[in-house]
Amino acid sequence: MAESTMMDVPLQIRRLLDHGAGLHGGSRIVTATDEGPRSVTFAETGERAARLAGALQALGISPGDRVATFMWNNAEHVEAYLAVPSMGAVVHPLNIRLFPEQIAFIANHANDRVVIVDNTLLAGFAKLLPSLKSVRHVIVCGPADRSVLEGSGVGIHDYDQLLAAAPAEFAWPDVDERTAAAMCYTSGTTGHPKGVVYSHRSIYLHALALPAPDVFGLSSGDLVLTVVPQFHVLGWGLPYAAFLTGSSLAMPGQYLTPEPLARFIAEARPNKGAGVPTVWAGLQQHLDDHPEVDVSSLTELVVGGAAVPPALLQAYDERGITMVHAWGMTEMSPLGTVARPPAHASGEDRTRYRLTQGRFVAPVEARLVGPTGDIVGWDGESVGEVEVRGPWITGSYYREDDDEHFGEGWLRTGDVGSITPDGYLKLTDRVKDVIKSGGEWISSVELEGHLMGHPAVAEAAVVGVPDDRWGERPLAAVVLREGQKAEPGELHEFLSNKVAAWQLPERWAVVDEIPKTSVGKFDKKIIRTAYTHDDLNVTTLG
Ligand code: ADP
C-alpha cells in the first residue's frame, strides 16, 4: 500500500477551542438571565476554559476522569464542554430532568468525580448528592446558599472563585483523538439509560459536518438559539460547531417556557435556532396570542428529536421562518439526516421532502432491514428498521453487554421507515410504537401529524392498545386548544379522508396534557399504562 504524504494531525477538542477563541475571539455566548441577556466573547471563554482546567487539575482531576455537569444551557456550561475534554478528562452532562434514582444510577455508572452545578438547580442536586458515590467535589455556578451541601463530605466550591484563583493559561496535553472526550446517556424513552462515549475525533468530525449549507448551514455571522439542552446529545453538537465556525450562541438558561423564551428572542435577536417540536409548538402558540412580541430576527429553526407536525412547519412558514427537520439520536452524536429539499423539487414536492426526516449526511451510511431480516431496497415505499454506521455512530454502549442494538458493524436504531432512491428517510414509527393491527402496521406518527393539523387540537398522541380481534388498535389521546371544542366523532371524520379506513382510531380520549419525557417527547408508556388501568376517559366510536 502506498503511503500518503499528509500530516497526521489529531482532531482534538483543544484545537477546536484554540481556533474559536483565537480566530473567532469576537463571537459571543449570550445567556438569558432575570436581568436580560449577558454576554461573553469566545476569547474570554477560551481564557475561562483554561482557568477551569487549571482549577480542575488542582482538585485532582487527571486525564480520563469524569467531570459531570448539572446545568442549563449557558456560557459556563460551554466552558466545561471545552475545558474538560481539552485537559484530557471526560465531560458528562447529566440530564437534570430525569428521576433522582436515574440520575444517581447514571452518575455512579459513569464514575463522575466532580459535578459542576447551576445555583438554580442546587436544591434538587443537594438531595441527590448523598446517593452519588464517586463524587469528590461540587462546584456551584452563580450566587447560592452552599450550606445545603454541608455535611456531604465532599469539597464544595464556588465556580467564579475557583476560576479567579487559577492561572489564565493551561498547558493542554496532546491526547489521542480516539480517546473519550464526552459522554451522554440515552434519556431512557425505551429501557434504562445507556451510556454513549464520544471521542475527540467523533466530536470534531461531527462539528465539521454541521455547518455545511445542506446541513445546519452555520456561519460566523449567525447567532444560534440553542434550546436543545446541552445534556441532550451534547446540545446536538452546536457548541463545538460554533467554535469551528465562529457562530455565536444564544443560551436560554432555565427560561424555556414560551413567554420568557419569546422575550429572550426579542432581546438577544438570534437568527437561527435548534430544538424539539414541543418547544417550537409552545412558542408558536404564544406568538399567536402575543403578536406584539418581536421575533423578526429569526429566519430558520432546526427541529428534531421527534417528528415535526406538518401544521407546525406550515405555521412557521407563514411567519417567514423556515423549519428544517432533522433526525438523529444520542447514539449518533446525534446527526443522521437533514431535510433540505433537493434543488429540482418545487411546490408540493418541496414540502413533501421537508417533511421527511431528511437526507443522510456523509459520512453516515444507512440500510433498511425488513421484518424478516432481509435488506430492504431504497424505493421510498418498502419499510424496514433503519441501521446506520459511521465515524460518529457508537459501536457499543458504555460498560454494557448489549448485542440487541449492534450487529455486523451496524447500529440498529429502533426506528422504522422507508428511504427514497435519493437517500431521504421517511420514518413511520419506532419499532416499539408502531401499531400492529391484524398483521398490518399503522403508523402512530402519521395519525398524530394529521390530528395536530386540526384547528382545535393542540397536541395528539396515538398508541397501540390491546384489541381482541385485531391484536392492537390505535387509541388517540388529544389535548384541545384553550377555548376550543371537538368531539371524537368530528376528529374521526377529519382523519377519514387522510388515512385508510382500517387505520382510523375507534378509541379516543380528550386529556389535559400529553405526558412528556425528560427531553420533551410524548411519553407513550404513561398513556398506555393509564389506558390499561382505566385511568383515561375513553370514548369508543361504533
Ligand atoms: P431517546 O431514545 O431516549 O428518546 P434520543 O434523544 O437519542 O433519546 O432519541 C432518539 C430518537 O428520537 C430516534 O431514535 C427517533 O425515534 C426519535 N427522533 C429523533 N428525531 C426524530 C425526527 N426528526 N422524527 C421522528 N423521530 C425522531
pLDDT tens digits for 407-464?
999 999 999 999 999 999 999 888 888 888 886 778 898 899 999 999 999 999 999 9
For residue 307, report the distance from its CA to the centre of ligand 1, in Å.
8
Rg (CA), the chain: 23
d(CA 538, CA 476): 9
From 328, 354, 389, the end of a domain falls on: 328
Confidence at residue 191, expressed as pLDDT on a 0 to 100 scale = 65
Averaged pLDDT for residues 242-254: 98
The answer to the question of residue 247 being in a domain is yes
Please state the domain count of the chain. Answer: 2
The answer to the question of residue 369 being in a domain is no
Instruction: Verify that 90 and 215 share a domain, yes or no.
Output: yes
Instruction: Verify that 180 and 53 share a domain, yes or no.
Output: yes
Q: What is the percentage of the chain residues whose pLDDT exceeds 70?
A: 99
Three cell numbers written together for 251 = 443560551
Confidence at residue 210, expressed as pLDDT on a 0 to 100 scale = 98
Q: What is the largest CA-CA distance in the chain?
A: 74
Instruction: Verify that 459 and 317 share a domain, yes or no.
Output: no
Instruction: Verify that 28 and 173 share a domain, yes or no.
Output: yes
Closest Cα to atom 3, ligand 1: which residue?
187
pLDDT tier for residue 188 given thresholds of 50, 70 and 90? low
Yes or no: say if 274 and 236 are a contact pair by the CB < 8 Å rule.
yes
- Is it the case that residue 533 has pLDDT exceeding 60? yes
The answer to the question of residue 416 being in a domain is no
Averaged pLDDT for residues 147-162: 95
What pTM was computed for the model? 0.90
Number of H helices, E strands in the chain: 15, 28
| Catalytically active residues, by annotation | 186, 331, 436, 441
From 328, 359, 392, the end of a domain falls on: 328
- Is it the case that residue 187 has pLDDT exceeding 90? no
The answer to the question of residue 103 being in a domain is yes
For residue 99, report the distance from its CA to the centre of ligand 1, in Å.
20
Instruction: Verify that 34 and 167 share a domain, yes or no.
Output: yes
Atom of ligand 1 nearest to the CA of 413: 14
The answer to the question of residue 459 being in a domain is yes
353-386: pLDDT as tens digits: 999 999 999 999 999 998 678 899 999 998 899 9
Confidence at residue 192, expressed as pLDDT on a 0 to 100 scale = 77
Q: Report whether residue 74 contacts ligand 1, using a CB cutoff of 6 Å.
A: no
Closest Cα to atom 24, ligand 1: which residue?
307
The answer to the question of residue 343 being in a domain is no
Q: What is the percentage of the chain residues whose pLDDT exceeds 90?
A: 90
For residue 521, report the distance from its CA to the centre of ligand 1, in Å.
9
Domain CATH code at residue 531? 3.30.300.30
pLDDT tier for residue 190 given thresholds of 50, 70 and 90? low
Instruction: Verify that 462 and 321 share a domain, yes or no.
Output: no
Confidence at residue 443, expressed as pLDDT on a 0 to 100 scale = 87
- Is it the case that residue 5 has pLDDT exceeding 90? yes
Instruction: Verify that 191 and 71 share a domain, yes or no.
Output: yes
425-434: pLDDT as tens digits: 999 888 888 8
Confidence at residue 189, expressed as pLDDT on a 0 to 100 scale = 57
Summary mean pLDDT of the chain: 95
Atom of ligand 1 nearest to the CA of 193: 3
Confidence at residue 216, expressed as pLDDT on a 0 to 100 scale = 98
Three cell numbers written together for 159 = 465556580
Instruction: Verify that 171 and 294 share a domain, yes or no.
Output: yes
For residue 119, report the distance from its CA to the centre of ligand 1, in Å.
30
End-to-end CA distance of the chain: give it in Å, rounded: 71
Please name which of 185, 187, 180 lies closest in space to residue 106, comparing C-alpha atoms.
185
Instruction: Verify that 96 and 245 share a domain, yes or no.
Output: yes
The answer to the question of residue 113 being in a domain is yes
Domain CATH code at residue 241? 3.40.50.12780
Number of C-beta neighbours around residue 399 at 10 A: 11
Crossing angle of helices 75-86 and 42-58, rounded to 10°: 60
pLDDT tier for residue 35 given thresholds of 50, 70 and 90? very high
Burial 124-155 (b: 16+ CB within 10 A, else e): ebbebbeebeebbbbbbbbebebebbeeeebe
Residue 442 belongs to domain spanning = 435-540
Yes or no: say if 117 and 103 are a contact pair by the CB < 8 Å rule.
no
Residue of 95, 97, 185, 189 best suited for mutating to test ligand 1, as the one with most atoms within 8 Å of CB: 189
Averaged pLDDT for residues 26-30: 99
The answer to the question of residue 234 being in a domain is yes
Instruction: Verify that 441 and 321 share a domain, yes or no.
Output: no
Three cell numbers written together for 466 = 390491546
Instruction: Verify that 228 and 89 share a domain, yes or no.
Output: yes
Q: Report whether residue 252 contacts ligand 1, using a CB cutoff of 6 Å.
A: no
From 328, 344, 370, the end of a domain falls on: 328
Taken in order 138, 101, 305, 191, the sign of the CA dihedral is positive
